Amino acid sequence: MGIYDRDYYQTQRPGISIRGPSSVVGWLIAINAAVFLADGLLTPNNNEIIESLAAKVGTLTAPWLWWQFLTYGFAHSPWPNYWHILGNMLGLWFLGRDIEYTYGPREFLRLYLTMIVLGGIAWAGTSTLQGLPPDLPLVGASGAVTGIVVLYALHFPRRTLLLFFVLPVPAWAVGVLVVVTNLRGAAVLGNDDHIAYGVHLAGIAFALAYYRFHWNLGRLVGGRFSLDWLKRRPKFRVHDPDPFDHRNRQDQGAEDTSAEEDRILEKIHRQGIESLTRQERRTLEAASRRYQSRRPG
């Protein structure tokens, strides 16, 4: 149990409060569900909302429509085909939360949106080369979700997942199955199952490269697309504790706190300080004050 999970850190507020999702994964699912419901309720006959958000093959050669390479990832097949959005959102919910925790909410959002955009561009490019009609639409978050599945298998290969919610298999096997299935689907010419395998493969390729080369999109863009300037945080200095200091710890609570601090310091080393969540920053600030107070003078 982390220190912020303990009873004395919980704030009780009287009355009823309505709050939004507490994670990026939750917000992504909420936005996708809102688009799906709005299209079904407001434009049930012509699906104008989904049609306007969908990317087309011809979007590639129409720069004024390039925003569709992002918005198509928040639109899905219209009602009554709810299996499309249900499958994507279940995958994002069950696997995406651990990936968000691993990389931090900001980096996870950058990663997710990048896979959507790259998947749409790759699909439009290959479709143009194949001579497909320019008005052929593309919708769905499956390219980004497929990339999340691969990242999950790379980070947690020995965890057990329920394939089709029935068969227990290790996560690495699910990752291999996803890659092989999409490679096979893309190789079969003339398939008419309406699955954009090229989008999936783009998400897979980016996820593999991201993991293999230890990329961090926050460092690559240099904060130019960050909204942190809207809410300035006080700067803090982190004191890296002496590893031999662990020998002086007497209780399990101190050991748990130290392990959490070590994990956060390792995360800074791998992904940069921008990847830290608000709670992780508070933990480091408290640790820094505690360790500095032990120093003589």
- The domain defined by 24-221 folds into Rhomboid-like fold (1.20.1540)
pLDDT value for 11 = 43
pLDDT value for 295 = 57
pLDDT value for 293 = 67
Round to whole Å and give the CA distance between 124 and 133.
Answer: 11
pLDDT value for 287 = 78
Residue with token string 């990663």: 111
Which residue, among 1, 4, 12, has the nearest Cα to 278 in the 3D structure?
4
The structural domains of the chain, with segments of one domain joined by +, span: 24-221, 233-294
pLDDT value for 76 = 93
Tell me the two tokens of residue 92: 């994002």
Residues of the chain with pLDDT under 70: 1-19, 189-193, 222-257, 271-272, 274, 292-297
CA angle (196 as vertex; 194, 197 as ends), nearest 5:
120
CB of 128 closer than 8 Å to CB of 212:
no
- Tens digits of residue pLDDT in 80-96: 788 899 999 999 999 99
